[in-house]
Chains A and B, each alone.
Chain A
Amino acid sequence: MTTTIRHRLALAVLAVCVVAAGCGGSDDKASTNGTGEALLGLFRIDAGACDGATVTGSYFRMVQSGGTVQDGPYVANGDSPCEDKSLTVLAPGTDGGLRTGEFQPQPSPAFDATGNATSDRIAKPQAWFAVAFGVSTNEKDPQTGATVPAPTITVTDGVLTGDLSAVGASWNGQEFNQGAPKPGGGSASATTGPTGTYDPTTGAFTLEWSSKIDGGPFTNFTGVWHLEGTFEPK
C-alpha cells in the first residue's frame, strides 16, 4: 500500500514536471502565471503613414504637461509630414521592430555631433523639432540608471500586456525613459499599458502604451506610443 502511494506520488510529480517542461519548452510562447502566453520574438512594426487627418501604422505623439493621453494638448512636431502635426510616424529600424526577451540597446555614442540619436534598431530615427530621436531598450536605463528587465509581452485571450520599462527615447543629447511601467515598477498616472491586441492566426498586433516623463526638459510630458505590425516568434 505504502509502495503504491509512493509510486502514484512519483508519477504525479513526473506528470507535473512533464507538463511544466512542455509549457516552458517553447521559446516563443512561454507560459506566464498560467494565464497567458509570453510572446518572445520580434514585433515587426508597420511604417506609419498619414493620409489627410488619418494615420495608419506606427506612430508616436507627446502630451503636453497637464494634458491627458485622450485629449491632449499634444506637442506639435513641425517635422511631422502629417496634417496632424502631433503625430510623428515611425518606420521599422534595422531589426524591423521591437524584440521581446532581449535588449536592443543604444549604440555608443548615442548621439551624433548635432544631437541626432543613433539608435536605429527598433525604429528609424525620426526628426522631432529638427533633431532626430531614437528608440532603444537598455538593461540599464540611460536616464534613471535603473536596471530593468528585458521587454516582455504576454497575450491572454487576444489581449496584450507586458513590461516595457526598458524602453527609452534619446533626443538632442537627452535621455527619456519611455517605459511602461516605469523602471522600478512605479506607474505614474499618465503611464499606462502596454496593452493591445494579437491575432494568433495572422500574427497581427497592435501595441500601445504611454509613459510620463520624469526629469529633463520635457518633465511631466507624456509619450504615447502606438505600434502595429506582425509578430514573428523567435
Chain B
Amino acid sequence: MSSRHAAPRSGALALILVLGVALAAAPAAFQMFSRAPEGGHMIEEFRPYMRTAKIDEFRGYLDEIDAANAEVSDHLAASPDRTPRPALAELAQEWPTINDDMGDMLTTMRANIGRFRGISALPPFVLFPWFFVLPGVITAGLAGSVLLARRQGLDTVGRHRALVAMGLGVVLAPAIFQMFSRAPGGADMIEEFRPLMTDQRVATIQGYFLTLGAAEGELRTALLPAVDAADPSGSSLPAARAFSEHWPKISEDMAPMIGTMADNLDNFAAVDALPPFWAFPWFFVVPGLGIAALALPGARRRPAALEERPSADGSHTSPVLEGNRS
C-alpha cells in the first residue's frame, strides 16, 4: 500500500466480513431462535407474581397459616380430646420447614423484582436473535460490496462510512436498550432462581400445598365441628377459622403459581443455557468496535485519495486516482 493510502487492506475487510457473518450466525450457534422466545414466555407467565403487592399477599398467607398452626397446636396439646388429627399433626411438624422455605422463596422473588422489571423492559425476547442477524448480514454485505467495488476500482468511501456507522450502531445498541444495567441484573436473577426452578423444587412445593390443603380440610371438616359441638359460640380458634375461610383464596393463588413454576422449568432451562446475560452487551460492543475501527481508515475521503487497485493477480500494487473512478 502506498504511504498516502489510508484505506484498509483486503485483509481488514475480510475480517469485517467475518465479524458480520459471526454476528449473523451467533443466534443459530446459541440456539437463540428457540431459546429466546421461551425466555419471553417465562417472563410473561411470571409477570403476575413478580410484583410487590402479590408477594406481600403470599407473605400474608404464610403469616395467617403460621397463626392458625400455632393456635391449633396449642389447642390440641391442651385438649382432652385425643382424637387423631393426622393432617393437622403433619402440618404442625412440617410447618417450620414450609414457612422457612416458602418465606425464602418469596424473599428471593421480592429481591429480584427490580431485575425482573429490567429484563422485561428489554425489547421482546423473540426479537433478540434478529438484533444479531440483521446488523451481521448488513455488515457482511457491506464488507463484501467494498471488496467487490475495490476490485472494480470504484469509490468505496461511502461504503466504508456505512460500515463505520453500522459498527457504531452495534456498539450503541446495548446502551440504547440499557443492557449494561439490565443484563447483569438478569444474570443475577437467573442465578438466584436456578435453585427454585428444578423438578425437585416444584415437587417439594407441591408437597407443601398438599400438606396445607389436607390440614385445612381436616380443620374444617373435623376439628372445628368438634370444637363447635363443645362450644357453640363459634368464637374459639379464630386464627384457624380465618385460615379455613381464606383457604379457597389461598389455594386459588397458590395453585397457579406452582403451575407457573412447573410449566416454566423447560423455559428456564432454555434461558439458562444461553450465554450469561452479563455478556450480551459485549457481544455487540466488541464486534461493533472492531467493525468501526477496521472500516474507519477507508471512510476518510482525502482530496486526492488514492485507491489501491488490485492487479490481475490480486496483488495491490497499482495506485489509481480515486476521483477518476467515481
A interface vs B, CB < 8 Å? 64-66, 75-79, 85, 114-115, 129-131, 172-174, 215-221
Do B206 and A218 have beta carbons less than 8 Å apart?
yes
Apart from the given pairs A85-B214, A174-B255, A216-B263, 6 other A-B contacts in the complex at a CB distance below 8 Å: A78-B221, A115-B248, A129-B213, A220-B199, A220-B203, A220-B262
Max chain A Cβ within 10 angstroms of own Cβ: one of B202, B209, B248? B248
A224 shortest CB reach to chain B, Å: 16
B103 close to chain A: CB less than 8 A: no
CB-based contact A78/B217 at 8 Å: yes
4 A-B pairs closest in CB distance: A78-B217, A129-B213, A217-B258, A216-B259
A173 to B253, CA, bound (A): 10
Least CB distance, A27 to chain B, in whole angstroms: 40
Q: Binary interface profile of B, 265-280, with partner A (CB < 8 Å = 1, else 0)?
A: 0000000000000000
B247 at the interface (CB under 8 A from A): yes
Q: Mark B208-247, 1 if CB is under 8 A from A, else 0.
A: 0110011111111100000000000000000000001001
Q: Are B87 and A78 in contact (CB under 8 A)?
A: yes
Contacts of A85 in B (CB 8 A): 87, 214, 217
Instruction: Select which of B216, B221, B255 is within 8 A of A217 by beta carbon.
Output: B255
For the complex, give the distance between the alpha carbons of A130 and B209 in Å.
Answer: 13
Q: Assess whether A174 is in contact with B259, with CB atoms less than 8 Å apart.
A: yes
Contact B259 A78 (CB under 8 A): no
- With CB as the reference atom, state the residue of chain A lying closest to B257: A217
Asked if B251 is at the interface of the complex by the 8 Å CB criterion, the answer is yes
Nearest to A66 among chain B residues (CB) is B203
User: What string of 1s and 0s marks CB contacts (under 8 Å) between B97-138 and chain A?
Assistant: 000000000000000000000000000000000000000000
B293 to chain A, nearest CB (A): 50
A218: nearest chain-B partner, CB-CB = B206
Contact A114-B248, Cβ < 8 Å, known A76-B210, A215-B262, A216-B263: yes
Shortest Cβ gap from B36 to chain A (Å): 22
CB atoms of B210 and A75 under 8 A apart: yes
Chain A residues with CB below 8 A from B216, complex form? 78, 129-130
Flag if B251 contacts A129 (CB, 8 Å): yes
Whether, in the assembled complex, B252 has its beta carbon less than 8 Å from a beta carbon of chain A, the answer is yes
- Decide yes or no: A172 and B263 within 8 Å by CB, A76-B87, A218-B206, A219-B202 being known contacts: no
A-B contact number at CB 8 A: 87
> What are some 12 contacts across the A-B interface (CB < 8 A)?
A64-B206, A64-B207, A78-B214, A85-B217, A114-B252, A115-B252, A129-B247, A131-B252, A174-B255, A217-B254, A217-B256, A219-B262
Partner of A173, one of B207, B219, B247, B252: B252
Task: Report Cα–Cα, A65/B255, bound state, in Å.
Answer: 15
Contacting residues of chain B (35-92) with chain A, CB-CB under 8 angstroms? 87
Q: How large is the interface on B (under 10, 10 to 19, 20 to 34, 35 or more residues)?
A: 20 to 34
Instruction: Give B204's nearest chain A residue, CB to CB.
Output: A65
In the assembled complex, the CB of A57 is this many whole angstroms from the nearest CB of chain B, namely 21
A219–B259 CB distance below 8 A: yes
Bound together, the chains give a CA A228 to CA B254 distance in angstroms of 34
Chain B: which residue is nearest A111 at the CB level? B252
Among A66, A75, A76, A173: residue with most chain B CB under 10 A: A76
- Assuming the A-B contacts A115-B248, A115-B252, A217-B256, are A130 and B217 also in contact, with contact meaning beta carbons closer than 8 angstroms in the complex? yes
Q: Are B206 and A77 in contact (CB under 8 A)?
A: no
Cβ–Cβ contact B256 & A173, under 8 A: yes
How many angstroms from the CA of A130 to the CA of B252 in the assembled complex?
10
Cα A172 to Cα B258 in complex, Å, equals 13
Q: Which of B139-163 contact A (CB under 8 A)?
A: none
B251 contact set on A, CB distance < 8 A: 115, 129-131, 172
CB within 8 A of B247: which of A76, A130, A220?
Answer: A130
With known contacts A130-B251, A174-B255, A217-B258, A78–B210 Cβ distance under 8 A: no
Contacts of B213 in A (CB 8 A): 78, 129-130
Of A78, A115, A131, the contact of B218 (CB 8 Å cutoff) = A78
Closest B residue to A215 by beta carbon equals: B263
List chain A residues, Cβ under 8 A from B254: 217
A66: B residues at CB distance < 8 A: 203
- On chain A, the residues within 8 Å of B220 by CB distance are 78, 130
- Assembled-state Cα–Cα distance A64/B213 (Å): 14
Is B258's CB under 8 angstroms from A65's CB? no
- CB closest chain-B residue, reference A114: B248
A22 to B249, CA, bound (A): 56
Indicate if the CB atoms of B248 and A216 lie closer than 8 Å. Answer: no
- Give every chain B residue within 8 A of A77 (Cβ-Cβ): 214, 217
Are A78 and B215 interface neighbours, CB within 8 A? yes
- Which chain A positions have C-beta within 8 A of B214? 76-78, 85, 129
- Minimum CB–CB distance from B85 to chain A (whole Å) comes to 11
For A115, A130, A172, A173, which residue has the most chain B Cβ atoms within 10 angstroms?
A: A130
Chain B nearest CB, measured from A233 CB (Å): 40
